Structures are given as C-alpha cells and as structure tokens.
C-alpha cells in the first residue's frame, strides 16, 4: 500500500504507536498527524491526495462524528477508520452512516490492523466480532425505539425538545415559538410521557441517548 495517511488522535502515545505500526507494515508515501479536529480539517483542505484517515472518536475540540460531517462537506472520498478505546453501538451506527469504513480498537494488534485495511480495500466494512453483534442488537432495539419516538413527535414538540436541550425555560420557549406558556407546559408533559421521563433533564438525556439531536 503506497498511500497518504492522516492520523488524528489527541494522545501522542496512541498517535505515534499507530504511525509506527502503519509505516512498519506498509509502504506509505506520506503520513500526516493531527492532535485535534481543527488541525485535521486544515490538513485535508491543503492535501487533497490523502487516501486514509484514522480518526479518534473523542477529540479535545469536537467529536469524531462531527469531523465526519466536515469531511463530507469537503467531499473527502478516501477511507476513514474510527479509533476508539470503547466502541458504543450507537456511535458506530452513526459513523457508518457518515461514510466511516470501520472501527478499530486503540489496543489493536498488528493482525487487527492488517485485517482492517484488507477488508476495507476489498470493499467491506471492518468491525470486530463483538462490535458486529452489539451493532446488530442495537439496530434491533434502540433504533426501533428511536423510530417510534420520531413518528410520534410533532413538529412543535420537537422544537420544544431542542430548546429544552439548549437550557431554555418554559417562558423562554413560549417567547421563542410565539405560543403560550401553558401550551409549552403541555408539550413538555407530552415529551416526558413519550420518553418515559421523570423530569425535563431526564427527557433531554433520553433524547441524547437516542441521538435525536444529530
């Protein structure tokens, strides 16, 4: 493999370890590194010949999922592999929908790295056996729950939920949506019922768990 690679991770030890593993295993033309999302995006803007990006899920300035959005806006067409010490099935699901080609643990073995790259080069998506099972289970349960809520969430309720997540009070939500405060209270009550939540904070937490604010 003679490619240009970008590694994005805020932990220098992980970054240098992955860089060494890649350069030791493959014939790489250039390796770029970045400790945060802003630097990574700047590198991609200035180097349109990057073939692979190894991207940490958690970065100091934003999430890896947000970086995927930015890369999509830049029309990046290379391969993207997500790096994570803990892989959440909900995060994997969103990342794959945003054109990521696979996930690999930060505690990878060289054989894992080789399998990941070969799978992706062959047109597949690379996930560990455990991640595959967790993703299947997630899609079978949590996504059904998410779809159910979206189908039963009115436009006004959704607007109310978004403002609640931004910390607006009932009075501020009423002013923002140009509706009465009593109407807002009705929407909040309906939202708590829909999410089986005990209070506003719980309601917003459930919405975040289901990634309804993507």
Same domain, 113 and 178: no
Q: Give φ, ψ of 80 to 5 degrees.
A: -125, 125
Q: Which residue has the tokens 């949506």?
A: 177
Query: What is the rounded average pLDDT of the residues 79-103?
Result: 91
Query: What CA–CA distance (Å, rounded) separates 34 from 6?
Result: 8
Q: Please give the pLDDT value at position 214.
A: 67
Where among 78, 100, 134 does a domain terminate? Answer: 134
Domain that holds residue 115: 4-134
Query: How many domains is the chain built from?
Result: 2
Kindly state whether residue 157 falls inside one of the protein's structural domains: yes
**Tell me: the pLDDT tens digits for 127-148?**
999 999 999 998 888 778 888 8
* pTM score of the predicted model: 0.73
The mean-pLDDT minimum among 15-19, 162-166, 175-179, 207-211 falls in: 207-211
Query: What CA–CA distance (Å, rounded) separates 59 from 37?
Result: 7
Task: For 78-167, list the strands marked E by DSSP.
Answer: 79-84, 102-105
Select the highest-mean-pLDDT range: 13-17, 27-31, 178-182. Answer: 178-182
How many C-beta atoms surround the C-beta of residue 13 within 10 A?
9
CATH number at residue 157: 1.10.10.10
Same domain, 160 and 74: no
3-state helix, strand and coil shares in percent for the chain, rounded to the nearest 5? 55, 15, 30
Alpha carbon 106 to its chain centroid, in Å, reads 16
Given a cut of 90, whether residue 39 has pLDDT beyond it is yes
Same domain, 126 and 38: yes
Same domain, 105 and 172: no
Residue 165 β-bridge partners: none
Same domain, 34 and 84: yes
- Rounded to the nearest 10 degrees, the angle between the axes of helix 170-177 and helix 181-194 is 110
Same domain, 118 and 190: no
Q: Please give the pLDDT value at position 70.
A: 95
Kindly state whether residue 142 falls inside one of the protein's structural domains: no
Q: Please give the pLDDT value at position 1.
A: 54
Q: Please give the pLDDT value at position 8.
A: 97
Query: What is the rounded average pLDDT of the residues 176-201?
Result: 91
Query: What is the rounded average pLDDT of the residues 84-107?
Result: 89
Kindly state whether residue 145 falls inside one of the protein's structural domains: no
Same domain, 19 and 80: yes
Structure token pair of residue 199 = 């209070």
Kindly state whether residue 214 falls inside one of the protein's structural domains: no
Query: What CA–CA distance (Å, rounded) separates 45 from 124?
Result: 27
Average pLDDT, the chain: 91
For the four alpha carbons of 46, 48, 50 and 56, in that order, the dihedral sign comes to positive
Q: Please give the pLDDT value at position 140.
A: 82
Same domain, 42 and 124: yes
Where among 134, 169, 186 does a domain terminate? Answer: 134
């Amino acid at each position: 493999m003679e490619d240009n690679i970008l590694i994005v991770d805020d932990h220098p030890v992980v970054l240098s370890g992955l860089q060494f593993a890649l350069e030791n295993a493959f014939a790489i033309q250039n390796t770029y590194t970045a400790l945060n999302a802003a630097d990574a995006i700047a590198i991609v803007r200035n180097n349109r010949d990057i073939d692979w990006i190894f991207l940490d899920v958690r970065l100091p300035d934003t999430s890896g999922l947000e970086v995927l959005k930015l890369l999509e806006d830049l029309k990046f067409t290379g391969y993207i592999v997500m790096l994570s010490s803990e892989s959440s099935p909900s995060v994997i699901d969103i990342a794959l929908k945003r054109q990521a080609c696979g996930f690999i643990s930060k505690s990878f073995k060289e054989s894992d790295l080789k399998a990941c790259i070969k799978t992706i080069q062959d047109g597949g998506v690379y996930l560990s056996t455990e991640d595959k099972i967790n993703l299947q289970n997630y899609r079978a349960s949590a996504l059904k729950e998410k779809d159910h809520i979206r189908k039963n969430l009115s436009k006004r309720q959704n607007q109310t939920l978004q403002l609640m997540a931004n910390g607006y009070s009932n009075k501020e939500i009423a002013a923002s949506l140009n509706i009465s405060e009593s109407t807002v209270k009705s929407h909040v009550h309906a939202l708590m019922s829909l999410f089986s939540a005990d209070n506003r904070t719980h309601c917003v937490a459930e919405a975040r768990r289901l990634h309804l604010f993507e």
